Amino acid sequence: MVLLANGAVPGEPVKTDKNSRRGNWGNQIEFILTSVGYAVGLGNVWRFPYLCYRNGGGAFMFPYFIMLVFCGIPLFFLELSFGQFASQGCLGVWRISPMFKGVGYGMMVVSTYIGIYYNVVICIAFYYFFSSMTNLLPWTYCNNPWNTPTCNGVVTPTGINNTLANVTRSLVTGAAEVAVEVVNKTKRTSPSEEYWKHYVLKISDDIGNFGEVRLPILGCLAVSWVVVFLCLIRGVKSSGKVVYFTATFPYVVLTILFIRGITLEGAVTGIKYYLTPQWHKILDAKVWGDAASQIFYSLGCAWGGLITMASYNKFHNNCYRDSIIISITNCATSVYAGFVIFSILGFMAHHLNVDVSEVADHGPGLAFVAYPEALTLLPISPLWSLLFFFMLILLGLGTQFCLLETLVTAIVDEIGTDWIIRNKTVVTGGVAIVGFLLGVPLTTQAGIYWLLLMDNYAASFSLVIISCIMCICIMYVYGHKKYFKDVEMMLGFPPPIFFRVCWRFVSPIIISFILIFTVIQYKPITYNDYVYPGWSLAIGFLMAMSSVTCIPIYALYKISKSEGTTFLERLKNSCKADIKWGPALSEHRIGHYAAPSSEGEVEVRPLKEELKEKEDEKRDEISLTIQGSNGSTAHNTTPSA
């Protein structure tokens, strides 16, 4: 079965395939760019390169792409087809099996946590972007009021000093003097690190010591939320236009930084360090666990965003093709970003005369300490700094758009009234205001501790559990055969056998492996030398469990409200697909989806068609009987199969 050029299945009348009440993407490019912007985020720049060199360099690519093929792309396709078929957000799709609607609420909780701290990271990138609008980057030298006596920069006031890696600079009465002893790397604190800790964050000594709100960061947080709100003011109609820039320009910046990076001395050393295969590590289970985790978290599975974005597609859109394009683009971006990052870090290591591992970092340490310091070594450093932080802002916004849209769509779809649909902008504004207020504690002097706590716990093993339960529900509770027929009705062809096997067996096994790996490899979170107290770790676990507990709580609630005299009857009825499950538009509700429902519009037509077919069959039988009785014509009256 194939689709015609207009997206209709052969034999069907030409249809508009447009959801005018809820809205659709302007065109397919908007959906692909939005999904790429959602999947390609800050983790591609500050986590993947670090994982790659830590887990065997080029050898890590092998398990990474294995996990992409057997887990990443199948899960991506499953979520896209799920949302597109029902044209509903992460709550509405659970009409497929109402008892599991708690999975949708869990996705909303996860997206809320991520949306809160993700925008704080974006606001810090805004802060650095604004700080780069100067002739001299403020984290270049150690002669600032916030610097300590241990500060030791890599740049002299007259420019780059190639021998600086072998000497120590000490501060005497605010002036830099060059000493003749070897730099003790373990004691050196860079000006960029001190700018980050003592000026931008004014970091406190404990997670419980909030101190003051950092007003510059708070202002940038307000700017971040205003930008996100304005880009989503008309839902996918406005965000679909914005992504033409936000999803593509980061690649322009990456390319510019890459060209600049590979021309620097020491860049080849950095890239070799990034890619040199250490084949013996392939046998290490930790390497496979990191590869699976990175694929899973990088693609944004189980956040609810993929379901939401796909729900605005037209019914016959080829989401199978889209899932492959977007997944491969995401992973290729990670690999490409590694070249950009390590070419610059190799250049910095060359100037410091140290190993690349001593300047490499991940997370905020790479984005706001290591890389900014490396940029001070480049001519016209403010220009490169502006480009780098502008790229971080765009990468973050692409993900943040989808996180906010996930929450707004879930609320609007759940209420479903004409008023709420017409006033979706009000809901968007309300969610943005709440998100801003919840992010205020992260702008205090203890904010970085809370940000990292949320990053490590709010969306960790809970995502794995949510994704695993989603696979089990669709494949085994609803039924894999029914779902395969749904996909065939939507796309015009059944899912390839590879994906059918992955959905039923391979992907759930890999997801279970990720969960086991996460538990076995668990270590209490630390930030540099700071060890988190037990009570803060307990809060972290509560955040992680808050999304997972939505599933059993809602399941028990649904069972108690279902019809039946015994628990098993209630359980069975709560698992059955809701009568409203299926395509959103009446023109697509064919076959068993054409059964009568509360709307009572479309469903009468298939009944009439069925009666008409029966009348035609009766007329044919009468005709055959009459012709056979006079012996004039011989007919085979045996009906065909």
Instruction: For residue 108, give the nearest of 443, 407, 371 by alpha carbon.
Output: 407
> How high is the pLDDT of residue 53?
83
Please state, rounded to an integer, the average pLDDT across all residues of the chain.
Answer: 86
Q: Within its chain, how far is the Cα of 464 from the centroid?
A: 13
Write down the pLDDT at residue 84.
97
| Per-residue pLDDT tens over the stretch 515-570 | 898 888 888 898 988 999 999 999 999 999 999 999 999 999 999 999 999 999 99
470/551 Cα distance (integer angstroms): 11
Q: Compute the chain's Rg from CA coordinates.
A: 29
- Which parts are annotated binding residues for Na(+)? 37, 39-40, 44, 298, 330, 395
State the pLDDT at residue 111.
96
What is the pLDDT at residue 156?
Answer: 62
Number of DSSP helices (H) and strands (E) in the chain, helices first: 28, 6
Cα distances (angstroms) measured from residue 552 to each of 101, 103, 298, 549: 10, 9, 27, 6
Q: Give the residue from 408, 70, 483 showing the smallest Cα distance to 233.
A: 408
Q: Which helix (H) or strand (E) holds 530?
A: strand 530-531
Residues 42 and 257: their CA atoms lie apart, in Å, by 16
627 pLDDT band, cuts 50/70/90, is very low
Q: What is the pTM of this model?
A: 0.85
* Residue 20: predicted pLDDT: 80
- Whether the CB-CB separation of 127 and 603 falls below 8 Å is answered with no
Q: How far is CA 392 from the centre of its chain?
A: 15
Evaluate if residue 398 carries a pLDDT over 80.
yes
pLDDT at 200 over 50: yes
Please give the pLDDT value at position 338.
Answer: 93
The position carrying tokens 């307990």 is 538
Q: Is the pLDDT of residue 9 over 90?
A: no
**Residue numbers belonging to the annotated binding site:** 37, 39-40, 44, 298, 330, 395
Is the pLDDT at 291 greater than 50? The verdict is: yes
Q: Could you give the 3-state DSSP secondary structure of residue 315?
A: coil
For the segment 38-56, what is each residue's pLDDT rounded down to a tens digit?
999 998 998 898 888 888 8
- What pLDDT score does 174 carry? 34
pLDDT single digits (tens) 558-612: 999 999 999 999 999 999 999 999 999 999 998 889 855 444 444 344 444 445 5
Contact of 570 with 576, CB cutoff 8 Å = no
- The answer to whether the CB of 92 falls within 8 A of the CB of 84 is no
How many other CB atoms are there within 10 angstroms of residue 282's CB atom?
Answer: 15
Does position 215 have pLDDT exceeding 50, yes or no? yes
Q: 28-141+192-561 architecture in CATH?
A: Up-down Bundle (1.20)
For the chain, what percent of residues have pLDDT higher than 70? 85
pLDDT tens readout for residues 409-433: 999 999 989 899 999 999 999 999 9
Question: Contact, 124 vs 220, CB < 8 A?
Answer: yes
